Every structure is written in C-alpha cells, then in structure tokens.
Amino acid sequence: MSDIKVGLIGYKFMGKAHTQAYRNTNFYFEPQAPYQLKVICGRNEKSVKSAAHTYGWESYETDWRSVIERDDIDLIDIGTPSNTHKDIAIAAAKAGKHVLTEKPMALSVSDAKEMLQAVTEAGVQHMVSFNYRRIPAIALAKRLLSEGRIGDVYHIRAHYLQDWLADPQSPFAWRLDKNVAGSGAHGDLNAHIVDLARYLVGEFAEVIGLSETFVKERPVDSDEGKRDVTVDDTTLFMARFDNGAVGSFEATRYATGRKNKKYIEINGSGGSIVFDFKSMNELQFFSNEDEEHIQGYKTILVTEPDAHDYMKAWWPPGHLIGYEHTFTHQANDLANAITREHPVYPNFEDGLRCQQVLEAVENSVKTRTWEIVEKSND
C-alpha cells in the first residue's frame, strides 16, 4: 500500500494543527498507508518556506493551483480562510484529489452545494474538519446513544463560550469584518455545536435566533480612529429537531472567564450525557436503569485502551490527551477511509447541512420568526 501524499493549503493555526495530525497519525497509529508530507502552500514565500522547514514538509508552493496541478498529490487539505474553500475544493475534486476542508465549509449554502456536487461527481473522498467529533468522550457519547442508553432524546443544550472580546477596549481585528470573516461567533463557534447536535441528536427542523454586537466599534491599532464591527458578537438560538427533541444553543466571545467552554448536555427518557471541553477526557453519564439509591451522574474518564475509541494508541489509563489530537484522530480516520475505500464522516453533505442550519438561524434573526431548516441538496 503506497503512502498518502498530502498537499496542505495554509500554514498558520490550522496548518500547524493539521501538520502535527499527519505526523502523529504515522507515529501513534501506524496506518497501513502512512501520510507523506509532500507540499505546504502559502502566499508569503519566506513564511511558508520557514514553516515547511519547521514542520517537516518536503517542499512548498506559493500558489494553491500549483499544488493541485502536481501529479504526486493524493489529498488536498484546505486550512485557509473560508472565502477560499470553494474554489480550492472544486479544483481539487476536478483534479481527482481527495479533499479535506476546514470548517465552516463555505460562505453560503449555495457554495456548499456546488462543492458537494463537485466531490460527488469526482468520486473522491471528502471531509469537513469538525474535529470535535474525534474527541474520545464524544465518540463514547455517540456510542451510548447508539446503545439506547439515553432513550428518546428530549433536550440538548449546548454552548460554546469564549471571552476574548469581553473587554470593550480590545482592538479591531479582521475577524470582526464581515467581508473577510463571513460571520462572527455564529459561523466560528455555533458551527461546531450544530455539527455535534446533528451527530448526536439528529436533523434540525426549525430554528429561531438572536444576534447581538455589544461593542459596535473598536479602536484600530494603527491609528487613533475607530472601526465598525460588522459581525455578531454573540448568537443564541432555539431549535426543534425532526425527532421531537428541542434544543438551546449559544455562541459568544463575551463570556468573561470562559476561555473556550464547549458544553453539551443531552437528556433523554433513559439517561443523560454531559460533555464539557474543559474536561475533554471525561464524559458524564446518568442512567435511570441504575437502582434508585445509587443513581447519579457518573464521570467516566475516557482513557481506557481496551474500552474507548482511539485510546489504544496512547498512554496507560488515566493519562490525558490534548486538544490537537482531535485532528490526529480525524487524520487517522481519513487515512483508513482512503485506504479501505469506505466513506468517512462528516463529509461535504454534513458540511452543507450544517451550513443550512446556520443560514436558517441568520434568516430568523432578520425575520424575527421561526425558520424551517432546508434539507434538500438540490
């Protein structure tokens, strides 16, 4: 089995996270077909050359089209800003490359549909980097739901809280410009919990949202002026699911003291599960099948090599793994899918569905009423 030869577009935060994933997949999981770090791509030659050296890539390019044209590349990994995903993904698919893209998949539902069509027609593997699905505790949550231990789901409440804008004096940044970033907390943070809700609970039926920009203008570092903030600081929404469950979601960059709190609680007729990213190696589980005097929320340390997904590759029980290995597990699952030619999820259809939920929420903010979530791919 030959290696999987990767071309990575983007070399910053996500470029670093994805690079370590390829290296560590080889190191810890020893896949049948290891990853080969062929080429990394960025527009600034000096920077990308340095990144290629530090991160261990064989070569670098400054134009993503050159990467796609190369014959020695099997997989295009897109870690660039959202507004570039569509063109790169479609070109890669047409060139017969497998495609992994960072989230959010696209700037719009219509773009996402075009991208899905392209990869489907090309018959290549396609995946969206909703990396939190690969936390072993989330994999365990999925398993408990599949085993019927939660029963019928009544509730999901999920929030993704950060605080880096809580200070009204912190300066303007490109992420606060709608033209560049597409959206604020909604696309950045709600995207993740929407994907997890679809994964764990099912499809969204209808939604209604609330968006707010608390600080309307912010100082610009380079001069003495101020600049308008054009994205949402926070977006909350309520939802109904096809299966009758109801949900409450919230994303914000103003939750002082919450550096990166991703919290999900699901209550069903048979039990409940709770996940908090602050304790990413743990899952809480309540079962009403326990005898009454010993019922309670159990904190499962999800580090058992023999019982928990992914953990055989790591350390003895009770030794924690960190954030970056959500990407490592994702890369390993993708490698297996490519090698064994079976599908991998979340794919571009999942990315589209997530986009449809986000867009319905945005619409509901404008119309001030509930919006049905579109689910056709046409």
Cβ atoms of residues 303 and 319 within 8 Å:
yes
Q: For residues 94 and 353, what is the distance between their CA atoms, to the nearest angstrom? A: 23
The span of 61-69, 95-103, 105-113, 244-252 binding its own copies (CB under 8 A) equals 244-252
Residue number, 225 or 318, with CB nearest to its own copies: 318
- Choose among 376, 373, 375, 378: nearest CA to 360: 373
- Residue of 121, 167, 228, 242 interacting with its own copies (CB under 8 A): 167
Residue number, 316 or 343, with CB nearest to its own copies: 316
- Min separation Cβ 9 and its own copies, Å: 20
N-terminal to C-terminal alpha carbon distance within the chain: 37
Per-residue mark of binding to its own copies, 132-161 (x: CB under 8 A): --------x--xx----x----xx-x-x-x
- Min separation Cβ 332 and its own copies, Å: 14
- Residue of 80, 272, 330, 332 interacting with its own copies (CB under 8 A): 272
Decide if residue 278 touches its own copies (CB under 8 A).
Answer: yes
Site for its own copies in 77-96 (CB under 8 A): none
Residue number, 74 or 188, with CB nearest to its own copies: 188
CA dihedral 338, 333, 145, 131 (to 10 degrees): -120
Site for its own copies in 313-342 (CB under 8 A): 315-325
Site for its own copies in 45-64 (CB under 8 A): 54-56
Q: For residues 302 and 317, what is the distance between their CA atoms, to the nearest angstrom? A: 8
Q: What six digits make up the tokens of 181?
A: 């970033």
Q: For residues 7 and 296, what is the distance between their CA atoms, to the nearest angstrom? A: 48
264: which residues sit within 8 A by CB, 6+ positions away?
141, 156, 157, 158, 193, 196, 197, 200, 273, 274, 275
The span of 57-65, 108-116, 197-205, 297-305 binding its own copies (CB under 8 A) equals 297-305
Q: For residues 116 and 12, what is the distance between their CA atoms, to the nearest angstrom? A: 26
Residue number, 110 or 243, with CB nearest to its own copies: 243
Residue number, 20 or 183, with CB nearest to its own copies: 20
Site for its own copies in 98-127 (CB under 8 A): none
Quick one: CA dihedral 145, 150, 153, 155, positive or negative? Answer: negative
Site for its own copies in 10-29 (CB under 8 A): 13, 17, 19-20, 23-24, 26-27
Amino acid (1-letter code) at residue 47: S
The span of 62-70, 93-101, 295-303, 342-350 binding its own copies (CB under 8 A) equals 295-303
Cβ atoms of residues 182 and 104 within 8 Å:
yes
- Reduced to 3 states (helix: H, G, I; strand: E, B; else coil), residue 342 is coil
The number of residues that bind its own copies (CB under 8 A) is 95
- Choose among 54, 59, 15: nearest CA to 36: 59
- Residue of 294, 341, 376, 378 interacting with its own copies (CB under 8 A): 294
- Strand pairing report for 226-228 and 153-161: unpaired
Residue 53 belongs to what H/E stretch? helix 45-55
Decide if residue 168 touches its own copies (CB under 8 A).
Answer: yes
CA angle 133, 138, 142 (to 5 degrees): 95
Residue number, 143 or 340, with CB nearest to its own copies: 143
Site for its own copies in 204-233 (CB under 8 A): 208, 210, 212, 214
The span of 35-43, 60-68, 172-180, 365-373 binding its own copies (CB under 8 A) equals 365-373
